[in-house]
Amino acid sequence: MLGPHAFGLVAAVMVFVGFWESVPGAAATDALISIREIDDTHFNSVTLGSALLGLVIGAGLFGFAGPLSAAMGDQELVPVMRTMAALPFLQALSIAPTAAAQRDLLFRSITLRTTVSLLAGGVVGLVLAVQGAGVWALVWQALVQRAVAAIVLWLAVPTSFSIRLSAPHLRELAAFALPNMVSRVMSWASGQIPRLILGFYLGPTGLGLFTLATRLNDIVTQVAILPKAIVARIDLRRFAGDVPALGAAVRRVVLHISVITFPLCVGGAVVAAPLIDAWLDPRWHHAIVPSQLMLLVGVPYVTIYVSASLLLALNRQNTEAVICTVQSIGTVAAVAVTASFGTVPAVVAILVLALLTAPATVVVMSRQCGVTLRDTVWPQIPACLAACLMGAAVYVLRKPFETKFGIRIGLLLEVLSGVVVYGALLAAMMAGISGGKGSPPEPQIRGKATKEELLF
């Protein structure tokens, strides 16, 4: 209903809002998770300190709205950015309860937060869009979503709050947060600076098309990769010092993530064209190829995210920061070189860099953590092969289905066919591996995992 221009305006603002959420906010969350002995003063200090910092960053966003709108050539950006300057403060209120929930593995509370806030923001956004509010539908969707998320978290997580700021507690938190800040800055830079560069070259509309492509990649990451990576970040800590058990645990994490991620990436790339044709109007047609390429970026992301979880679990924050720095500098440089040629060359550069980064992280995990190729690469092979064969089968079926049944029904049949084909192929491959003579020994994680769980 809104088109790529509105999405481009909000994406430009979120480049800067995302810095707050991805760097100091995420680093504070990780610090609260990493501290072994923690009390309420740690949580209270982070909440108050983050809220104050969020107000400062919000004031900066308010003042920077004019120069940014002039640089991108769109004055509508000024009121949008100034209204969204409240987001850093709202997000700061969620840091302490989010960390408390993750420490205690209360992921039901996090799921409740996500579900309720997305639902509330989505309803507000859709109602405003139908009423003709334009870009303001997206603005108020973001504000309502973060406000509701903070409220739900404080109600769902048993964490007390008082207005208290302790310098010793902040120093202890800083010891964990500062090394992680480097990797967070680099992660933010690799994800957001390319958007800013593309916005300068292509304007809000071109940025909106790129945003859709990255949004599909974000969906796969948030649904299939990140939840398991967050759990692994905490769970793998208990295997520190026990290399065989650590390797078995990593195999299990990699297997679980790849089984879900690879079919979403490959299958999504195959059906991206009919999906966008059936879902969106012709203004979004030029987002098809970038969306397909960005979905394929999720394949090497499995290895990259597992690497980050493992390094952080073993308190190798410095190593993880170096990897993020190299990847981020490479991404920004690649997009800066290719942005003037359009969205597709920029996305190709991002994909190539991810494909080059994944093998490097495998080497780092082997040297720093003792895990082997059998632990990091072998578990991905069955899901990768099954997903590729499934993608080829769906591609062959696309034209007959869409010709006979139309785009919408054809798309549904393509998805169902992909699920059936992938399930059958994966089951056959896993059965062959588990019974093959050349298969690696089955991992044993202190009796915690059955054979069926590991094969899943």
Domain ranges of the chain: 1-165, 206-456
* Alpha-carbon gap, residue 387 to 331, rounded angstroms: 27
- The pTM assigned to this predicted structure is 0.73
Q: In which residue are the tokens 């690469």 written?
A: 377
Give the phi and the psi of residue 121 in degrees, each rounded to 5: -65, -40
> Which amino acid is residue 156, in one-letter code?
A
Per-residue b/e over 430-451, b at no fewer than 16 CB within 10 Å? Answer: beebeeeeeeeeebebeeebee
Q: What does the pLDDT look like over 276-323, one tens digit per residue?
A: 988 888 888 899 999 999 999 999 999 999 998 998 888 887 888 788
Q: Give, as one character, the DSSP assignment of residue 94.
A: T
Do 27 and 181 contact (CB within 8 A), yes or no?
Answer: yes
- pLDDT value for 50: 82
CA 9 – CA 204 distance, rounded (Å): 6
Lowest mean pLDDT among 45-49, 77-81, 204-208: 45-49
Average pLDDT over residues 81-97: 88
Task: Classify 42 as helix, strand or coil.
Answer: helix
How far is 79 from 436, CA to CA, in rounded Å?
Answer: 63
The pLDDT of residue 161: 62
Exposure string of 329-368, with b = 16+ CB inside 10 Å and e = fewer, is ebbbebbbebbeebbbebbbbbbebbeebbeebbebbeee
Per-residue pLDDT at 370: 87
Residue 179's pLDDT band (boundaries 50, 70, 90)? low
Residue found by looking up tokens 């000024």 in the block: 78
